[in-house]
Amino acid sequence: MSTETLNPKSEPSRWSRAWNSNMGYSFRRNPVAVVSMIVFLLIAVASFLAPLIAPYDPYDPAQIDIMNSEYPPAWINGSLPGFILGTDDQGRDLWSTILYGTRLSLLIGICAVALQAFLGISIGLIAGYVGGRLDSLLMRLADIQLSFSTLMVAIIFLAVTQAMFGTDTFNKYAVVFLIAVIGVAEWPQYARTVRATVLAEKKKEYVDSARVLGFGPMRIMVRHILPNSLSPIFVISTVQVANAIISEASLSFLGLGMPPSQPSLGSLISSGFDYIFSGSWWITAIPGVVLVVLVLVINLLGDWMRDVLNPKLYKG
């Protein structure tokens, strides 16, 4: 790889190759994808730079004054100039809290999907490549897993762990528990898709050629079949990130996710829900809008990617 960068004139950079590829072209020609990408990047960058951008630190009790609670956003009468989007029930600046909350939601979503992908891709590859009894066994496991809804599994698991470890310990490791449960509950999505592509790929002659050359099954799976099965993996990954963010928000809304002291978007919506009829609609509505926009743009990107990477439309 390193030698290829020595000759910049004949070999275009990776960025310009990506920009000029079929995918880059279709991206430029699709305004929905461009807008979604811009919005997603804005949200992602803003949330990951939260400690720099946010005017207050919602995790620092010293900066929170309960007397500031429930101030409306800046464009409504009775607002306080320091709080652009108003404050929540504990007196935290809503803008800062949303930034930190979005960061948590995205982090949980992406890590949970990484866990799902790891489990699902390994199991799918093995099931598809080895086949036979092992394949049947793993796929029946996936069927059993799919017959429980993700939320049900998550609620039972989180309720039990909360009772087992006590609320304090649970709140401390809530992020880890959420990632684990959302990650484990959804692996069959990946496993089935990967298995299906592996079944199609392993019949191709390059796999036979690798076998004749004496490569081991591990090498054939990881180096030969997996790189050729990536397109569907990309597509489900985007959709699954959106799903994971929604799952996390639902669990937090039900009080089984992030604690109120470290709010994610879901727990922020939940905490504002108690005040929605007393006039403080913004505590629920504004994080709700952020959540909807975030999930929507990810889904739109996933849609675009599914169209582009569809092997019937584009042979990659």
> Which chain residues interact with another protein by CB under 8 A?
4, 11, 204-206, 208-216, 219, 223-224, 227-228
Among left, alpha and beta (phi > 0; psi -120 to 50; other), residue 95 is alpha
**Residue 305: closest CA among 15, 42, 32:** 32
How many Cβ atoms sit within 10 Å of the Cβ of residue 60? 9
> Rounded CA gap, 18 and 20, in Å?
6
Q: How far is the CB of 212 from another protein (least distance, A)?
A: 4
Among left, alpha and beta (phi > 0; psi -120 to 50; other), residue 166 is left
Q: How far is the CB of 1 from another protein (least distance, A)?
A: 10
Nearer to another protein, 63 or 228 (CB): 228
Q: How far is the CB of 234 from another protein (least distance, A)?
A: 14
Nearer to another protein, 232 or 260 (CB): 232
Q: How far apart are the first and last CA of the chain?
A: 22
Nearer to another protein, 11 or 274 (CB): 11
Nearer to another protein, 143 or 208 (CB): 208
Tokens of 236: 């489900």
Q: What contacts 266, CB < 8 A, 6 or more positions away?
A: 105, 248, 249, 250, 251, 252, 253, 257, 258, 291
**Residue 111: closest CA among 67, 47, 49, 175:** 175
Nearer to another protein, 11 or 143 (CB): 11
Please work out, in degrees rounded to the nearest 5, the angle formed at the alpha carbon of residue 99 by the alpha carbons of 93 and 101: 95
Q: How far is the CB of 166 from another protein (least distance, A)?
A: 50
Nearer to another protein, 141 or 210 (CB): 210
Nearer to another protein, 210 or 285 (CB): 210
Please work out, in degrees rounded to the nearest 5, the angle formed at the alpha carbon of residue 114 by the alpha carbons of 263 and 128: 150
Whole-number Cα distances in Å, 230 to 24, 76, 118, 139, 223:
17, 49, 13, 20, 12
Q: How far is the CB of 295 from another protein (least distance, A)?
A: 32
Nearer to another protein, 227 or 279 (CB): 227
